[in-house]
A and B are shown apart, each in its own frame.
Chain A
Amino acid sequence: MPAGDEPLVRVRGLRKEFDGTPALGGVDLDVARGELVVLLGLSGSGKSTLLRCLNGLHRPSGGEVTVAGTRVDRASARELRHLRTEVGFVFQQFNLVGRLTCLENVLIGGLGRVRGPRYGVSTYSRRMRAEAMAHIERVGLAAQAYQRADTLSGGQQQRVALARTLMQRPQLVLADEPVASLDPENAGTVMDLLVRVCAEEGLTVLCTLHQVDLALGWADRLVGLRQGEKVLDRPAAGLTRDEAMAIYRRVEPAAVAA
């Protein structure tokens, strides 16, 4: 890990409210380049909100968020769009356009690099199509390149979504529960692919998960959130399963004892 380097993600005192309901209450977080950080927490603990504040899909209500040198909390719409071209996002529900072919879905990842709207595979340059095809091959779905995305299984769809993220040539990948909608076997395959590809490309990854075992197996560092507050931030090495599970305790330890 490049010590002393400016972290790729730097969050200070991040607050986010939805119509007065607090979702994040002052979170600090640093992620160094090349690091793989897993965010753990119950649903509703603010994991997804935190990720979406990093690429500006949600506007922070307060605090500082710096990603790849851009101040997300005060960026203009144009700066945000530029930042997003460098930040890949993997969604729990894949968010593929079901009626389009896998290839076109992957090409959508390259939209940030071209000017003007596109519609249909043939509106993208040959070069981009070749690049997209290479990514589809890399996730092992070359034979399905021209199939409609909604004919694929969940695991395959998430692999297409991963290819779409690679097409973006990002520095940072934000993955929001990438395997929560998949069965255990597919979850393992997709997680394996995600981690392997990102490691090969030297990408920085911030991933939310709710399977502690997967998290302990893959992460460099674990960060736990509970009710919008950070309650854990430690390297994965040396962390026990029980210590990680403590994040999920619904109530304060004192109340449990009573």
Chain B
Amino acid sequence: MAFITANWNPLGETFYRKTELYDMTWNVRDGLRESLVAAAPYGGPIALLREPHRRSPSSRPQLEIYSASGTAIASFPWKSGPVIHLGWTVCDELLCIQEDGTVLVYDLFGSFKRHFSMGQEVVQSQVLEAKVFHSPYGTGVAIVTGSSRFTLATNIDDLKLRRLPEVPGLQGKPSCWVILTQDRQTKVLLSTGPELYILDNTSCTAVCPPGLSPQTCSIVHMCVSFSYRYLALFTDTGHLWTGFSNLQEKLSEVDTKKTTAPKHMLWCRRPQSQQPSVVLMWDRLLMVVGQCHDTVQFPVEDPCVLVGEMDGVRIISSASQEMLQEVPLVCQDIFKIASMAPGALLLEAHREYEKSSQKADEYLREIKEQSMLREAVRQCVEAAGHEYDPKTQKSLLRAASFGKCFLTDFSPDSFVQTCRELRVLNAVRESSVGLPLTHVQFKQMTLQVLIDRLVYRRFYPLAIEICHYLKIPDYQGVSRVLKHWASCKVQQKDLSDEAIARAVCVKVADSPGVSYSDIAAKAYECGRTELAIKLLDFEPRSGEQVPLLLKMKRSQLALSKAVESGDTDLVYTVVSYLKNEMNRGDFFMTLRNQPVALSLYRQFCKLQEQDTLRDLYNQDDDHQELANYYVSASYREKRLDARLSVLQSAVDEYNKSKNEFAAKATEDEMRLLRFQRKLDDEKGAGLLGLSLQATMEALLALGLYKQAEQLYRDFRVPDKRYWWLKLKSLAEKEEWDELEKFSKSKKSPIGYLAFVEVCMKYNNKYEAKKYVLKVTPEQKVKAHLAISDLEGAADAAIERRNDAEIGAVLAKCPTSDQLLMEKLNRARAAITKK
């Protein structure tokens, strides 16, 4: 396999290699020369605007979008204003920056998404130059205008324009400039020729790179590394200065012996780079300049475009695409000619083993003697990751697997993972997919993003295969893919609603994490309301359906779905929406069909809008509730006549609802109120609002017996109640004569034991005794006991020959009263004998 090192070029201590990625499938010929070109990093798409300077309406420039392998994705004539610059965002959107400062955003498939402007003043002064840059905050745009002013937007998704201060002495555009991000700030480094300035939000500072040879006159080209850490400056004397981008330290200075400014200049580094370099390109020459002052030169035949990656530089020409990068250390160790690194030996051992040669054992033994087998396996696995050619990958992995057999406790994780990842990478590198990612880039961009990118490019089956293959949990993997697929599917105008809904349902089924309402929302955005409704039917969570249904003005449906969901907040949302949308009548009718919503709304009205509540009952002809409403409303009325009239409405409603009882009760209440008012006016009794019972009580307490009597008759108060009332009241006032009179007025409906007890309650034994005589025989004993007349009780009990009663008296008997006890016991014995 000696030929692996065939494309290696030594640079200082290390090697640089140029690997062919693709034969470009496009047909652009000289297109690259006179076009505006933008190619995104991480194997992103390429955009071409052909002949951007043609302006006549008859021949418009053509905008073409290709995958990294040159497969055409989209192509359309450019109808907007003249374009100054093209660039890609981190999420594969194309930015077209026009002369007038308008930035148009297109998606990967060339459909227009939105636009924004870089400021009003730009329309006048025009954009001279523009750059698109990426930072941790997202994708940014920087422009320099005809009035030599810079404007920045650090994140186009959260557009905030910053106009930078003026640069002293700058006329037109600077000779060259770059964007730096440092200390969480975005700055512009520019050269006006002899002077170098750093421009930030507030100031413009002249700077001088340390150690730049004094003979230089002017800086004509500059570039920063992928990570914004390193800076390279090219002077008109052909010197290349490299150093840190904070301009604190110089790395090297190389004389390229070229006096024309290069067309492209890019850093070519990789993580843990041994020999970082800068790639410069002139019309016919590509030069790699290392820090060791060494250079590698390649002739260039076609016009090329350079794309900086985190671990190298991609060179795109009309015919092919190549990757220029420093050979990773581990690959150098293994493949360097006559390398004795453990990995190299292991590879050799495996090769011999394949040939069934016993040399395999010798090599292996050599590694084992140095106890480097573990290291050897690691090297092979790692190197496989860095190789682009599947054959090389395979031979390395086989060697690793071979070596692994001789290790007892080697964790296979890294091996398995590398195998899996390489398989995925090889799949996406396919020319038809066209994502030439290196393993390092893949690690940096993460699998999630890779899947997203595939989804953006509509490689749904591949994405799903990858998810399955790498065993990504469904809600992170397959579901996300399906969601995108479905959103894309609903936009297909040539299919019927029915067909799409069925297709979506079959594919998506009930994958976790795919929301049918999101898909439906997408369909609605595309103006397919019917489809959206069909799709919503598949949504199991009714709560999710509601907002969209409201948006689509299917309010009735929304309401019933909201009720179904059992989420009252959702019901409220719909109800309050309907309240504003509909006229009152329709609104009430709608509610009427939804009891749950209705009762919720009633609750709300009870606290917030009493009048609405009345209208609601009115609408429903709910006389019973309406009447109840009036009753409770009557308590809010301060004035009596108002109160009476509200109560009259209640009576009417009760009558309508055939609730005679309540109507009668309310009428009584009105009568009572009038009566109370009259007495209040006459005697100042303070009765208004009391219950009938309380009124009578108050009247009796005031000694207004006649009036109390009147109420008793008028309101048909039961005799028992009235007697109890009067009895208590008189006893309380200790009007014993009046009480006696009352007791004799007719036969007591509550008996006379009550009289005894009440008298005793007020400790009037004398009065109590009067009533003991009137008590019925059954209650005699109790009555005597109540006034603690044991003798009497005993006599009564014995007379009645009641065993239980005798027992009751006995229980009360104090032990000292032997005589009585004996008497009782005797009587008891007599009864039991019988």
Q: Do A and B come from one complex?
A: no
Tell me the A residues contacting B by CB distance below 8 Å.
Answer: none
Tell me the B residues contacting A by CB distance below 8 Å.
Answer: none
